Structure 1
Amino acid sequence: MSVAGSLLLLPGDGIGPEVMRQVRRVIEWLGKRRGIEFKVEEGLVGGCSIDAHGVPLTDETMARALAVDAVLLAAVGGPKWDALGFDKRPEAGLLRLRKEMELFANLRPATVFDALVDASTLKPEVVRGLDIMIVRELTGGVYFGEPRGISTLPNGERRGINTQIYDTHEIHRVARIAFELARKRGNTVCSVEKGNVMESGLLWRQEVIALHKAEYADVTLTHMLADACSMQLVRNPKQFDVIVTDNLFGDMLSDEAAMLTGSIGMLPSASLGAADAQGKRKALYEPVHGSAPDIAGRDIANPIAMMLSFAMALRWSFDLQTEAELLEQAVENVLKTGMRTGDIMQPGMAKCSTSVMADTILREMDKLVAA
């Protein structure tokens, strides 16, 4: 049995432990059926870490995240911790992981499985065959810019300040990821900003154009304002191949794109750092959905986004393309049979639990390797 690499699993809060449990089962399946073993550790992040240690992410867990080949994170947060300050809330643990691992590029695919065309709120002809990759800058912009904070003015009013800031190298490195991805897909990149009213957006457009001219002239480059892109995503989403944008707009647009697929519970994501001399990248993989505390502990959450996030890890961090495709194909085949969790339930389909969905996907993987 070969050791493919090391993994840190961070189940987090809400439905996180339930969906991460299904990934554990896939990892075990790969060991038994494919002879591929991973060195697996588990840690705390988010609210569960606050409850156990008083902080959303301990220095020890941060060090472990930096040492492994890939981190899998399920979800953080919940109303239990909403009264805490921003630097002490569960989400601060996720932001610290992204910042200290230098995960500057967030890849969020929005793909519509044929079996789920009718699950989307848009017309079938609008979303059938949809395959978009959104590349979001993840460690800069308004979420990290300084100055920031809330202050009291001399007249007694309060003022909230957040700063949108980008430097050339931050724009170039995430745009480079987008161009490289496009070369393997439809060879088209749409760069999205608000250069009509924001200097940072104007700089973004100028620097993407400069990089394109210098290194990626073979890729078709278009530009769109963020509000127009938001409208076009629901009007004609199949016009897009790869979208590259900043942290704030990427956060919003990728969630909008997620709902084109029928459920936010279907979509994975990968957050990548720069490649080292051996071509290895720090990486964190997580579903786009949140912790969904209202359904936690009920075995009804959709595990597919978490499982597909692991498929992205197999592809990007461990170069296990065959196994990634095997897991993805198994998911697609199970959806074709009509198996559905509640979030993607449709008339005439078979409603199932989190664990039964995973059971069925694992059985389908068995069938695929036996064929």
Structure 2
Amino acid sequence: MEKRVVAINGDGIGREIVSAARRVVDKAVAKDNIVIHWAEHKAGGEAIDTYGEPLPQSTIDACKVADAVLLGAVGGPKWDAVNPAIRPEKAILGLRKALGLFCNLRPVRIFKALQDYSPLKPELVQDVDFVIVRELTGGIYFGERLEATGEGADEVAWDKETYHRYEIERIMEVAINTAKQRKGKVTSVDKANVLASSRLWRKVAQEKATANPTVAFDYLYVDNTAMQLVVNPGQFDVIVTTNLFGDILSDEGAVVSGSLGLLPSASIGTGTALYEPIHGSAPDIAGQGIANPLGTILSAAMMCRHSLEAPNAAAAIEKAVEDVLAAGYRTGDIYKAGMKKVNTEGMTEAILQYIK
């Protein structure tokens, strides 16, 4: 079986971590008799330097016909002064729109070897393993808005939160299907006691719960959810929520895990899915060979599972990461005294050796 994957290195450490992930994926999928044809395309600051825009049409066209897209990270201070209309981050929004990516999947799992890295007490993080399902293309981020106008006390600005039924239904379906493959529990997060859009959100969620009796549903306000992620994060399986709330809660989940460098994500929808780590481009360490590749490697494992029809490869990669961490290998960002400190290449080689 042959698969086509677009690799977008992006900026900063992007090329280093994407290269590492590609090596790991190639070895893992070979055991499933899958061959990947990689095609490199530009987006972000690198594309601005080359084409004068963050997302050239050639990149969009390549992504549309690929089986998956693996992205490093985009942005950096080098492009802070460019026209806001062509900032590197526009590439991400452009890809979401062009590929119909309405859902972000962000798993939050604390590996046993890293439990003491979490800022929470050890007893609170022993069973943390949940997924945040965030709606990506609706809500206040894409609603109507008015930039600040007027003067003095009368100066005003506003943003409009809008959700259509179809947007809520399709994100609920993703959450339900995800839960069916896990522990079978969905927590729908809203602010239905205040917001009209959240009342529609809860109404649709309750309808979906009725239609799927094998999945347990819970409904929490967003402020309570934020608290519960700190006091009892192990209770969650699948959290489904709006664009704004998901943006905030997923970052809180990342902090709970104790290391941004290990968290993967997937953006899925009606077109080619996009996989990327949640951390930034880290331009301050770019080119030094010390970046942590695990977030990208785990994102590539998600790619194997969801887009490349290679669940065995996905499981092998995830198990290799777990075993390598248990063996004490650490890049500088997660290093502690007594561990085996390695650079990007050293961590990648360790993962390759541990793939069963």
Task: Give the TM-score range, shorter chain.
Answer: over 0.9
Task: Identify which of 177, 188, 198 aligns with 1:201.
Answer: 198
Q: Is 1:212 the equivalent of 2:199?
A: no
1:130-279 counterparts in 2 under 5 A? 130-145=128-143, 147-148=144-145, 150-153=147-150, 159-213=156-210, 215-274=211-270
Q: 1:323 to 1:246 in 2, by over 3 A?
A: same
SS at match of 1:45: coil
1:153, distance to aligned residue in structure 2 (A): 2.7
Q: Is 1:44 the equivalent of 2:42?
A: yes
TM-score, L = length of structure 2: 0.95
Instruction: Give the counterpart letter for 2:119 in structure 1.
Output: T
Quick one: higher RCO (CA 8 Å, sep 6+), 1 or 2?
2
SS at match of 1:196: coil
Please give the alpha-carbon distance, in whole angstroms, between the structure 1 residues aligned to 2:29 and 2:141.
40
Alignment-derived partner of residue 308 in structure 1: 298
Q: 1:200 to 1:85 in 2, by over 3 A?
A: farther
Please give the alpha-carbon distance, in whole angstroms, between the structure 2 residues aligned to 1:159 and 1:265.
39
Please give the alpha-carbon distance, in whole angstroms, between the structure 2 residues aligned to 1:47 and 1:126.
40
1:155, distance to aligned residue in structure 2 (A): 6.7
Alignment-derived partner of residue 277 in structure 1: none
Task: Identify which of 252, 261, 277 aligns with 1:287.
Answer: 277
1:162, distance to aligned residue in structure 2 (A): 2.8
The alignment-based identity, stated in percent, is 46
Q: Is 1:23 the equivalent of 2:21?
A: yes
1:325, distance to aligned residue in structure 2 (A): 0.8
SS at match of 1:90: coil
Instruction: Give the counterpart letter for 2:228 in structure 1.
Output: Q
Conserved? CA contact 1:286–1:306, under 8 Å = yes
Alignment-derived partner of residue 278 in structure 1: none
Instruction: Give the counterpart letter for 2:59 in structure 1.
Output: T
Q: Is 1:342 the equivalent of 2:339?
A: no
Q: Is 1:92 the equivalent of 2:90?
A: yes
1:45-60 counterparts in 2 under 5 A? 45-60=43-58
1:34, distance to aligned residue in structure 2 (A): 5.8
The number of residues matched between the two structures is: 356
1:112, distance to aligned residue in structure 2 (A): 0.8
**Alpha-carbon displacement from aligned partner over 1:265-308 (angstroms, at most 9, x marks no partner):** 1011111113xxxxxx5211111111122222222211001001
SS at match of 2:89: helix
Structure 2, unmatched stretches of 5+, are: none
Conserved? CA contact 1:193–1:224, under 8 Å = yes
Conserved? CA contact 2:29–2:310, under 8 Å = no
Moved more, 262-271 or 152-161: 152-161
Moved more, 78-87 or 95-104: 78-87
Q: CA RMSD in A?
A: 1.8
Please give the alpha-carbon distance, in whole angstroms, between the structure 2 residues aligned to 1:24 and 1:218.
38
Please give the alpha-carbon distance, in whole angstroms, between the structure 1 residues aligned to 2:18 and 2:213.
42
1:87, distance to aligned residue in structure 2 (A): 2.8
Please give the alpha-carbon distance, in whole angstroms, between the structure 2 residues aligned to 1:186 and 1:326.
21
**Alpha-carbon displacement from aligned partner over 1:173-219 (angstroms, at most 9, x marks no partner):** 00111011112212111111122222111211111112222x21221
Q: Is 1:317 the equivalent of 2:307?
A: yes
Instruction: Give the counterpart letter for 1:54 in structure 2.
Output: G
1:52, distance to aligned residue in structure 2 (A): 1.1
